């Protein structure tokens, strides 16, 4: 699959250290190699969204939008689990999912 990153995701990824950085690299390389979303480890479709999914990575959550037409995974958010489900992030994700 093709992978793209939002600016917010890249900024958060640079702040990671140690085991989280290694886990992120492993997850991204796994996504590049798979043919179907069902093959991705810890990938769950988000309730109330059409094309948004989340991946658990310790205390962090990776949120991405899957575009079916191009087979593109757009990593949108990388936040701690307490912060990722806030209303402001949900609203932004809904807007970007419609684009």
- Other beta carbons within 10 angstroms of residue 71's beta carbon come to 11
Work out the percent of the chain whose per-residue pLDDT is above 70. Answer: 98
How many whole angstroms from its chain centre is CA 62?
A: 4
pLDDT confidence of residue 71? 80
User: Domain 2-98, what fold?
Assistant: YaeB-like fold (3.30.2310)
Q: Does the structure show a pLDDT above 80 at 85? A: no
The 10s digit of each residue's pLDDT in 24-63 is 999 889 988 988 888 888 888 888 888 888 888 888 888 8
Tell me the pLDDT band of 97, cut-offs 50, 70 and 90. Answer: confident
Backbone Cα Rg of the chain: 13
Q: Tell which phi-psi region holds residue 89, choosing left (phi > 0), alpha (psi between -120 and 50) or beta.
A: alpha
CA distance 59 to 41: 16
- One DSSP character per residue, 70-89 reads TTEEEEEEEEEHHHHTSHHH
Tell me the pLDDT band of 64, cut-offs 50, 70 and 90. Answer: confident
In the chain, domain spans: 2-98
Q: What pTM, to 2 d.p., does this model score?
A: 0.82
CA distance 31 to 12: 19
pLDDT confidence of residue 90? 81
pLDDT confidence of residue 76? 84
């Amino acid at each position: 699959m093709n992978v793209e990153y939002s600016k917010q995701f890249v900024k958060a990824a640079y702040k990671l250290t140690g085991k989280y950085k290694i886990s992120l690299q492993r997850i991204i390389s796994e996504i590049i190699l798979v043919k179907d979303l069902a093959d991705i480890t810890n990938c769950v479709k988000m309730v109330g969204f059409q094309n948004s999914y989340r991946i658990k990575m310790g205390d962090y959550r990776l949120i991405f939008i899957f575009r079916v037409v191009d087979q593109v995974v757009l990593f949108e958010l990388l936040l701690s689990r307490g912060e990722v489900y806030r209303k402001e992030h949900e609203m932004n994700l809904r807007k970007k999912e419609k684009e």
